[in-house]
Each structure stands twice: as structure tokens, then as C-alpha cells.
Structure 1
Amino acid sequence: MTESPPGRAQVVRDAQASRLMISGDWTLPHYVQLQHLMATVSKDVDTNTVIDAKNLGALDTSGAMVIAQWLGSARAQELALDVSIPAPRRALLKTVADAMNTYCQPLPRERRSTASILLERIGQAVVSSWKQTLKLLGFIGMVLQAIAATIWRPRRWRVTALVSHIEQTGLDAVPILSLLSFMVGAVVAFLGATALATYGASVFVVDLIGFAFLREFGVLLTAILLAGRTASAFTAQIGSMKAREEIDAIRTLGLDPIELLVLPRVLALLIALPLLTFIAMLTGIVGGAVVCLSVLKMSLSMFISMFRDDMSVTQFLVGMAKAPVFAFLIGVIGCMEGFKVSGSAQSVGEHTTSAVVQSIFVVILMDATAALFYMEMGW
């Protein structure tokens, strides 16, 4: 079977007007030649040129597209009304011209005010925060359910994993937490002494240090440090397992990932964070005492006597009561973000960052709420 010759287009001029004579087969095998042909003759075609396509042969979508591109959508639609062209070819020309007129035009850009864009972003942020809160509450429920299911079954306790995580989250954090608390205690004491010296009340720096570290700074510094150190570690560990499909393998074996991976980490934080909080309180008070002894020339016996007389056990219990709550929230958020990893290294990094940000935000929010509650209760 011989291949048909490509279509032809020729501009013929007579006394009345110029004519574009279209003939032959305008089909896909001749697409390149037809493109060159129309590029050559289109410079001689203007709005007054008459289109004569009565000798048009075979026509498919590619050929109709070439004609519509070079003549324009409007003139192609006019050509589709020429009764000298067979009806199927006219229908194809009209369809292609309509498609060019409808779908090949760039969509107009919607002009929006800055206020509407800002309100939209605020709305999206609120909806995202609400969804995240619901997910967190649901995950907390799953963790509490797993604790209730295993607490009365000692054979299902993962003691080895629990001790390992206590070492990683608690013992390994003691040096950095002690140094941080000592330095903050020294800074608080120095600033307090400088400010109170104006009123001749430098001696009350002891009370400032005691109230600050027993009620707030001890537990808050510990929680923020573990939010950045431990929550990120939990997310990265579980997220890497999720990326390598190890969690799917755990489920395939009939094991519960919450019981296997989450409970040891959360329980380890519940044990480690109160102990670290106590250490932070001690080192912060020691840091303040060093400043009092060196800058205010206060004796050690005087510092201890004032601290013993002015600080009650209630202040210590108020601070320590917040430690288990912070520990539970930090552990749950870190593990939850690990389970949300989609499978790529970028996702692991994004959710690790999200875990740290969420943990610090929740810790500060809960601390502020607790401060208001204690104030109303008179504690």
C-alpha cells in the first residue's frame, strides 16, 4: 500500500482577491511537512484571503489542528461552515476550532486582595491545628488503651526496652541539663541581685531563685530540653522504621506497634523526666547560691537558712506535679509524628521538626494553664 502524498496549500491571486487553495490529505503521517507548508504560505494570507478547501482530501485531528493553528480559531470555524467540504471533515474542523477556543486559552488569573489571602491562610492554619489536635487526642487514647491492656500482664512488659530508653532519655541527659540549669540559675540570681539592689532588697534573691526553680524553671527547662532532644529522637527512630516498612512487618507478625514501640518510650519519659526535673531544681539552686556567695558575699549558712524558712514543700510539689504530664505529652507527640512519616528521608526530617515544635508549644501552653490554675487555687 503506497503512502498518499501530503496535502497542499497554495495562495492564488486573481483580479478580485487572493485565495488559499487547500487540497490533498492532511493527516498525521504528513504532520511535519504540513507545518512547514503552512509556515511558508501563512505570510501571504490575511483577513481578506478567501479559503477554498473544496478539494480537501483525507483529514484527521492533526491536520485539522495545523489548519486551525495557522488560520485561527475564528476562521477555522467559518471554514467548517463551507458546504463544499464533506460533512465529517467540517465536523472535525469545528470540533478542533472549538477546542482551541475553549481549552487552549490561558485561564484568567484571579485577582484577590491581600486581606482575603491572609484570611484564607489563617483559616487553613486553624483547620490544620484542629485536625492535628484531634489526631493527638486519638493517639493519646490508643496509648492509654495499650497501657490498660498490658499493665495487668507482666509477661507483656518490655523491661529491657524500658531500661534502655530510660538510659537514653534520662541518664544521658543529666550532664547537659545540669550545666544548663546551673547557668540559668546563676543568670537569674545575678539579674535579681542587680534589680533588687536598687531597693536594698538583694537578700531576697534567695526567694527569687527558690520560687523560680521549684515552681517553673526546673520542670520547664527539663521539658523543653527533652522536647528538643528526646521527642526528635523518638520521631526519627519510628519514622525510619516506617520508611523501611519495619512497622508493616511488625503488624504482619501480629504484634501491636503501639505496645512494642510507643509504651516503652512513653513510660521511660514518665520515669526519667521527674528525676531530671529534681536534678534541674538542685543544680539551678546551686547556680544561684554560687552567685549569692560570690557577688552578694552571703554566707552559705544564711542562704540555706533563708531557703529553708521561706520555701515550703508545696512549691516543690507544684513543680513536680507538672513533670509527668509534660513527659506523657512529649513522648506521645514524638511517637505520633514518627508514625506519620510517609517513607522518604525528607518526610522524616519534616516530622522530626514538627515533633519538636509541637512538643515545645504544648509544654509552654500547659505550663501557662497550670500557672493560672495554681494562682486561682492559691497554691
Structure 2
Amino acid sequence: MRQDGAKTVVELFGDWTVETIGASDGALRRVEETTAPGDIVIDLTRLGRIDTAGAFIIGRVTRRCGEPDGDFHFIGDHPTARRLIEEVRARTTVCADEPPSTFGFGKALGRIGAGLEAMFSEILDTLGFLGRTMMTGFSSLFVPSRLRLTPTIWAMEEVGVNAMPIIATLSFFIGAVVAYMGANLLQGLGFSVFTVELVGIAVLREFGVLITAIMLAGRSDSAFTAQIGAMKMQQEVDAMRVLGLDPFEVLVLPRVIACTLMAPLLTFGAMIAGIFGGMLVAWSAQDISPSLFITRFHEQLDWSHFLVGMSKAPVFGLVVAIIGCRQGMQVGGDVESLGRRVTASVVQSIFAVIVLEALFAMLYLELGI
């Protein structure tokens, strides 16, 4: 460095590459901190080789100036230096310093507000994705050749047939637990026979469809996100667009149709398994024979309980599939993004199912069903 009147001349010697700039970085930082940016002049006369790392730290000293690439900042000639410095500066994002970490009520409110904003943004984006999927589905009705049956049947097998054993097993034990709790509570009051109604109403109205939806969210929903996300990472979705294929027709619509159609069938299987589990516990714990259980079940329980549970199933299946496919389409180009989206997919699906279950309960309560 040398002074030339009011100007500070930064004289560059030799090569400025990633291997050599370490020794000069501190001196350039001192010039940047102690000299007005408009008074800095860079002498390129004896500069040798230069790469993007060298261009970055050289251009950094004049970045704060209103004209960082002005001719008055440079003297001497070099075949590539100025062009490379300008290019690196144009492609470099300067981030503001992070504010110091503070604690207190204000920061807590700020985090709550940011979380609410992100939640509403997710809801709006999911509704938009649902609308796009519905439009694709309606257009496929008018042009049936656009509906891809093979992927749809494959998705129905994955979502329905392969999921039935675990859903039935889980529902069996849920029904058994409900019956066991009813046995303990009602037997002391002398109303043990009402265990049949307890098991029937709980499994038909709530537990059958709820267990099915939660298992779909944990099993099928995460699979949808991982499958579509892996295709996004490998740029297969972009390749589809280049070939003129709509990813919503090829990837999203078959999974949404499969999940919506198979959810009622899975719910029916869960109901049967749950009632069977409750019947076995009632038989062993309360000496209620299977014939008595089935007879009282048919006499005392109305069909409305079954219809209430079945009416929720396609809605839950649709919501789970939409959230899983949307999160898959949001995956970036790295594995970390895939992991975050799979986690968000499962969490959002379970949250949506619980909220919809509460809304359905209030709706049917008001309707007296």
C-alpha cells in the first residue's frame, strides 16, 4: 500500500489465487476499515494470475463505494482482472449482519408471529395445490386417455392392500383396549352389557377412521413425499416437463385417486378388526358370548354410526394424499431438504386429520347425527 495524495493505492504483486490470498487478506481488511471507499485505488500493473477467490477479496475493498467498478478505482492493465472482479461482485450476495440475540417477551412474540405466518402460508399453498389437482382431475374426466390407470392401480395396491394388515392389527388392539376399559368401568356398576355399545360407537364413529387416517399419514404419506422428492432431486420431474408431460397427471393424480378410494375400504377393515377385538375381550373378561355381542350390536346400534365413520374416510384420504404429494413437489436438490419435507408431510397430515376430526365431531353434534 502507498499514499498518493488523498488516495490510497493498493499495489498487487504476483498471483492472487486461492492458494496465495491468505497472506494478503488481513492487509486488505485493514484498508477497507480505515479508508473511505471512494479513496481506494487498485494498481493492476504487476498482478499475475487471478481466480474468483482473489477477485472476491480485491473487489471487497471498493464494495461500499457507490461506483465500485468505476475507472477511478483502477490503474494499470490486466487482461482479465477487472472483468472477473465485476463478475464476482455481481454474483455475490452480501448478507446483513445478524442482529444480536435477545431474550424476552418481544422476541417470543416475534417467533410466535413468524410461526403463525408460516402456518397460514402453508395452508394457502396446500389449498392452491388442492385446486390445481382438482382441475387436473376434472380435465381428465373429459379426456379419459389422460388418466393413467397403471400408476393408479399400483398406488391402490401400495396404499390399500399392503397397508391392510398393519391397520387391522392396530385396530384390533384398539378395540380390545376400549372393551377392557369398558369392562373395568361398567362391571362395577352392573352395566357390563353396555360394553357392546361402547365398543361399537367408539370404533364405528371415531377410532376406525382415525386410526386408518393416522396410519395413512405415517405410512403412505411419507412414501409419497419420498418418492416424488427423490424424482425431484434427480431432475426427473423437470425431464417430464421437457417431454410435455404434466407432473400432476403422472405423479400426483394417481396417488390422490388411490388414497381417496382406498381410505373407505381400509376404514371398513379397521372397523371389523376393532369390533372383533372388542368382542373377544368382552367374551373373556365379561363372559359376553359372541352371539350375544353380535345380537345386541345389531339391535342397539343404528346404521348412522357406521355411515358417520365412513363419510370421513375419503376426506381424510384426500387430505393426506394432497399434503404428501405437495411436500414431495417442494423438495430441493439435497437430501436434507428431502428429510425436512418428509417430516413436515407426516406432521402436517396428522395435524390436519386431528383438526378435521374435531370439525366433523362438532358438525355431526350440531346436526344430531
- 2:213 paired residue among 216, 223, 237: 223
1:129 has 2:119 as partner:
yes
Q: Which moved more, 1:154-163 or 1:315-324?
A: 154-163
What's 2:105 paired with? 115
Structure 1 counterpart of 2:132: 142
TM-score by length of 1: 0.73
Q: CA RMSD in A?
A: 2.8
Structure 2 residue 368 is the aligned partner of structure 1 residue 378 = yes
The answer to whether residue 222 in structure 2 is matched with residue 232 in structure 1 is yes
Q: Deviations over 1:294-326 (max 9, x none)?
A: 110111221111101111111100000000100
Give yes or no for contact 1:28–1:62 (8 Å, CA) kept in 2: no
Q: Distance in 2 between matches of 1:111 and 1:233?
A: 39
> For each residue in 1:253-287, what CA deviation from the matched residue of structure 2 results, as whole angstroms up to 9, or x when unmatched?
11111011111100001111100000000000000
State the Cα distance separating 1:168 from its structure 2 match: 0.5
Instruction: Give 1:209's match in structure 2, choosing from 192, 199, 203.
Output: 199
> Could you tell me which residue of structure 2 aligns to residue 260 of structure 1?
250
Equivalenced residues, count:
296
Report the 3-state secondary structure (helix = DSSP H, G, I; strand = E; otherwise coil) of the residue aligned with 2:115: helix
1:302 counterpart = 2:310:
no
Shift of 1:153: 2.0
Structure 1 residue 325 corresponds to structure 2 residue 315: yes
1:173 aligns with 2:166: no
Whether the aligned pair in 2 keeps the contact of 1:189 and 1:292 (CA below 8 Å) is: yes
CA gap 1:110/1:191 in 2 versus in 1, 3 angstroms: same
Instruction: Measure the CA separation in 1 of the matches of 2:28 and 2:11.
Output: 5
What displacement does 1:27 show? 6.1
Q: Measure the CA separation in 1 of the matches of 2:158 and 2:28.
A: 71
Q: CA deviation at 1:109?
A: 6.5
2:292 counterpart letter in structure 1: M
Say whether the 8 Å CA contact 1:27–1:62 is kept in structure 2: no
Same amino acid, percent of matched pairs = 44
Deviations 1:64-112, CA, capped at 9 Å, x for gaps: 958x99xxx7xx99xxxxxxxxxx99xxxxxx9xx9xxxxxxx897574
Q: Report whether the alignment pairs 1:270 with 2:260.
A: yes
Deviation at 1:205, TM superposition (A): 0.7
Mark the CA change 1:308 to 1:116 in structure 2 (over 3 Å): closer, same or farther.
same
TM-aligned CA distance change 1:249 to 1:194, over 3 Å? same
Residues 21-79 of structure 1: CA distance to partner in whole angstroms, max 9, x if unpaired? xxxx99666xxxxxxxxxxxxxxxxxxxxxxxxxxxxxxx959958x99xxx7xx99xx
Corresponding residue of 2:231: 241
**SS of equivalent residue, structure 2 residue 366:** helix
Q: Could you say which residue in structure 2 is the equivalent of 1:355?
A: 345
Distance 1:153 1:354 in 2: 34
Aligned partner of 1:191 in structure 2 is 181
| Of 292, 315, 335, the match for 2:282 | 292
CA 1:132–1:109: 2 relative to 1, 3 Å: closer
Q: Could you give the per-residue CA deviations for residues 112-144 of structure 1, whole angstroms, max 9, x where no partner exists? A: 441111101100000000110110010000000
The separation in 1 between residues aligned to 2:276 and 2:288, in whole angstroms, is 13
1:172-196 per-residue CA deviation (whole Å, 9 max, x = no partner) reads 0111111101011101100111111
For the pair 1:335 / 2:335, whether they are aligned, the reply is no
Aligned to 1:20: none
> In the TM superposition, what whole-angstrom CA distance separates every residue of 1:316-368 from its partner, at most 9, and x where no partner exists?
00000000100110000000000000111111111011000000000010000
Matching residue's letter, 2:123 = T
> 1:250: how far off?
0.4
- Alpha-carbon distance between aligned partners in 1 of 2:303 and 2:187, rounded to the nearest angstrom: 28
Q: What amino acid is the match of 1:121?
A: R
Amino acid at match of 2:355: L
Task: Return the letter of the residue paired with 1:201.
Answer: F
Distance 1:193 1:115 in 2: 49
Bigger Rg over Cα? 1
Structure 2's unaligned 5+ residue stretches are 3-8, 14-25, 41-60, 65-96
For 2:100 and 2:28, how far apart are their aligned partners in 1?
Answer: 35
Partner Cα distance (1:334, 1:192) in 2: 37
| One-letter amino acid of the structure 2 residue matched with residue 139 of structure 1 | F
Distance 1:255 1:211, change over 3 A: same
Distance in 2 between residues matched to 1:110 and 1:219, nearest whole Å: 49
3-state secondary structure, aligned to 1:170: helix
User: CA 1:293/1:134 → structure 2, altered by over 3 Å: closer, same or farther?
Assistant: same
Q: Which residue of structure 2 aligns with residue 344 of structure 1?
A: 334
